[in-house]
């Protein structure tokens, strides 16, 4: 980065700072350079703390550090997610609030507890925290803020460890996260990095439009505006076009933006159109960049991504052309996908278990899947859980089974199943037993998204270790659970997949060489003139985020006659 007078002023400025600017303006890089100048003045045990929201964002900052800071400097800068930092604070000091050691209820366990709890869950999770010292994910920020607000000694401790704190995506901090930052701002210097036009999480509790005003009022920071700069896609016109979408002003599509259309119900299916677009984007960027590009396929609703994943996973014949399958990662409903995987894994244990235990384990896994759906807000999930529980009671007591799903599972076990010791093929064999009811069909849909692509896959290796050499996989469900947990913890350290499918919300904080933004024929509408003004503004902010994830090119795939994204001349 060229250190111009404005950036030099940032490096030299004392006290709290507020640095605003759009995607690719260099906020994070100049903050790292600012941090480097402070390192020489730190005591040996002191660190600089860089807080962000997601593991993907942490990984990007960590990668960027390697090009900005030397190794010794990188070791003294902690880049962490808010929740990882808050979890450490609560584990270390939560006893100050409750008088007992603190423990953490993992999200999957919380879903199970919540699904089985008949009452006000918000009140119950607060009781678990205050009376038992057991904390769910969403209470970590509030608990950390409360600890810091109530204890001057704790504030002094953390400010002495972290005399400089950099807060990424500051405009998206919620009330409790802001409380924690504010609590240590008396002795720690705070650098806020923000882009008001990337505020896309207003639907979350505590995320408020006036957060930058709060910072100005409380911190009185020195402000810097880098919004005119763009180092991510400089010269490509992507940011200018994204800003035109945001503000609904006229802007012709630059060379880096293309729109493909399709006619719903006629001609080439829209999924095939996207398939062709992904391959075309790969070919174009490979030629432009001279390497394998990274591409994100983005949509505003998850249902479109599931359909696209099914199509991209296989060769597609269109006319005289066969579009080859595209290896990709689907980042969608990881909790449900994992829960479906546990059901399949339980079936892989069948040959090694007695009949009652085998069927019971699978039915219990099915109930856990619907518990995950219940806590996600799916209507009717509680009735399905009750039906499964009642069916299991009837099965184990030898009474007539009324549940169609439990009947189907029992019939599948009684029909027999055999495995070969090849995890990929055996996984598919087990998965194919998810037939006979709509509940099983729903699980199958999600299980298909958890693919064992080849023998070197982590799940395949884990299951291989559990093969008993004859007929069954020992502790397959526990193996799958452990592998998926490890994969989730190490996801931030993994390089991005060449092609990733994710929601536009999930793409925030990430960068790709190209993006393909998809609008379905009847769902996932990008813009609708019938929406109220606030929804339109929120959607335009989301579209700006999606477009600016690309460094080189963006492709829209939309139905014919869709609402224009930019204003008329």
**HEC assignment per residue over 466-519:** HECCCCCECCHHHHHHHHHHHHHHHHHHCCCCCEEEEECCCCCCCCEEEEEEEC
Give the alpha-carbon dihedral of 220, 221, 226, 227, to 10 degrees. -30
- Contact of 216 with 226, CB cutoff 8 Å: no
Instruction: Read off the pLDDT of each residue in 396-403 and give the average, rounded to a whole number.
Output: 93
Q: Which of 567, 569, 519, 562 is nearest to 542 (CA)?
A: 519
Q: Which of 59-73, 286-300, 484-498 has the highest mean pLDDT?
A: 286-300
Longest dimension (CA), the chain: 81
Assess whether pLDDT exceeds 70 at residue 457: no
Q: What is the pTM of this model?
A: 0.69
Pairing status of strand 257-262 against strand 77-81 = unpaired
Average pLDDT rounded to a whole number, residues 426-450: 89
Mean pLDDT of 340-344: 92
Lowest-pLDDT range of 16-20, 226-230, 345-349: 226-230
Helices (H), 207-300: 211-219, 238-247, 270-289
Instruction: With beta carbons less than 8 A apart as the criterion, state whether 546 and 515 touch.
Output: yes
* Phi (first) and psi of residue 299, to 5 degrees: -145, 160
Residue 236 has pLDDT above 70, yes or no: no
Under DSSP, is residue 24 helix (H, G, I), strand (E, B) or coil?
coil
In Å, what is the CA distance from 541 to each residue of 50, 200, 550, 559? 25, 6, 15, 21
pLDDT range class, residue 1, cuts 50, 70, 90: low
- What is the average pLDDT across 332-337? 71
Q: Scan for tokens 């678990």, then name that residue.
A: 128
Close Cβ partners of 397 (under 8 Å, ≥ 6 residues apart): none
**C-beta of residue 546 within 8 angstroms of C-beta of residue 517:** yes
pLDDT band at 244 (very low <50, low <70, confident <90, very high): very high
Is 510 or 282 the better-scoring residue by pLDDT?
282
| pLDDT given at position 348 | 94
């Amino acid at each position: 980065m060229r250190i111009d007078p404005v950036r030099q002023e940032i490096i030299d400025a004392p006290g709290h700072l507020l640095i605003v600017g759009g995607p690719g303006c260099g906020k994070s890089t100049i903050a790292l350079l600012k941090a480097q100048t402070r390192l020489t003045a730190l005591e040996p045990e002191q660190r600089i703390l860089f807080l962000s929201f997601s593991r993907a964002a942490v990984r990007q900052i960590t990668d960027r550090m390697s090009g900005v800071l030397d190794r010794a400097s990188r070791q003294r800068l902690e880049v962490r997610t808010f929740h990882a930092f808050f979890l450490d604070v609560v584990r270390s000091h939560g006893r100050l609030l409750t008088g007992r050691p603190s423990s953490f209820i993992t999200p999957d366990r919380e879903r199970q507890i919540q699904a089985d709890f008949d009452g006000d869950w918000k009140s119950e999770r607060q009781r678990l925290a205050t009376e038992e010292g057991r904390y769910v994910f969403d209470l970590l920020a509030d608990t950390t803020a409360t600890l810091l607000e109530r204890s001057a000694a704790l504030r002094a401790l953390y400010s002495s460890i972290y005399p400089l704190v950099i807060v990424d995506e500051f405009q998206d901090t919620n009330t409790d996260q802001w409380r924690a930052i504010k609590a240590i701002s008396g002795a720690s210097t705070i650098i806020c990095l923000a882009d008001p036009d990337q505020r896309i999480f207003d639907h979350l509790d505590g995320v408020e439009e006036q957060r930058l005003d709060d910072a100005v009022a409380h911190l009185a920071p020195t402000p810097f505006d880098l919004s005119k700069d763009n180092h991510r896609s400089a010269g490509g016109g992507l940011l200018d076009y994204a800003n035109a979408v945001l503000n609904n002003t006229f802007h012709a599509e630059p060379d880096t933006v293309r729109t493909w259309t399709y006619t719903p119900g006629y001609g080439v299916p829209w999924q095939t159109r996207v398939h062709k677009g992904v391959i075309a984007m790969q070919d174009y960027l490979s030629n432009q960049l001279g390497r394998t590009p990274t591409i994100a396929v983005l949509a505003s609703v998850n249902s479109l991504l599931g359909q696209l994943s099914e199509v991209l996973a296989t060769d597609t014949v269109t006319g005289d052309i066969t579009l080859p399958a595209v290896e990709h990662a689907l980042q969608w409903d990881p909790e449900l996908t994992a829960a479906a995987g546990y059901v399949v894994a339980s079936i892989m244990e069948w040959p090694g278990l007695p009949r009652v235990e085998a069927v019971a384990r699978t039915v219990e896994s099915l109930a856990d899947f619907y518990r995950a759906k219940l806590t996600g807000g799916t209507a009717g999930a509680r009735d399905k859980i009750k039906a499964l529980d009642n069916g299991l009671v009837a099965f184990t007591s030898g009474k007539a089974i009324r549940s169609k799903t439990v009947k189907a599972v029992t019939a599948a076990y009684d029909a027999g199943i055999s495995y070969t010791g090849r995890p990929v093929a055996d996984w598919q064999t087990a998965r194919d037993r998810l037939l006979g009811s709509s509940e099983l069909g729903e699980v199958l849909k999600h299980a298909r998204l958890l693919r064992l692509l080849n023998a070197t896959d982590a799940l395949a290796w884990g299951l291989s270790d559990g093969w008993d050499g004859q007929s069954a996989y020992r502790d397959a469900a526990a193996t799958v659970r452990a592998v998926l947990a490890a994969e989730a913890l190490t996801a931030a350290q993994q390089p991005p997949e060449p092609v990733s499918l994710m929601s536009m919300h999930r793409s925030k904080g990430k960068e790709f060489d190209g993006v393909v933004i998809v609008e379905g024929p009847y769902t996932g509408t990008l813009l609708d003139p019938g929406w109220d003004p606030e929804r339109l503004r929120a959607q335009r902010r989301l579209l700006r985020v999606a477009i600016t994830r690309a460094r080189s090119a963006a492709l829209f795939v939309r139905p014919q006659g869709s609402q224009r994204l930019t204003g008329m001349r």
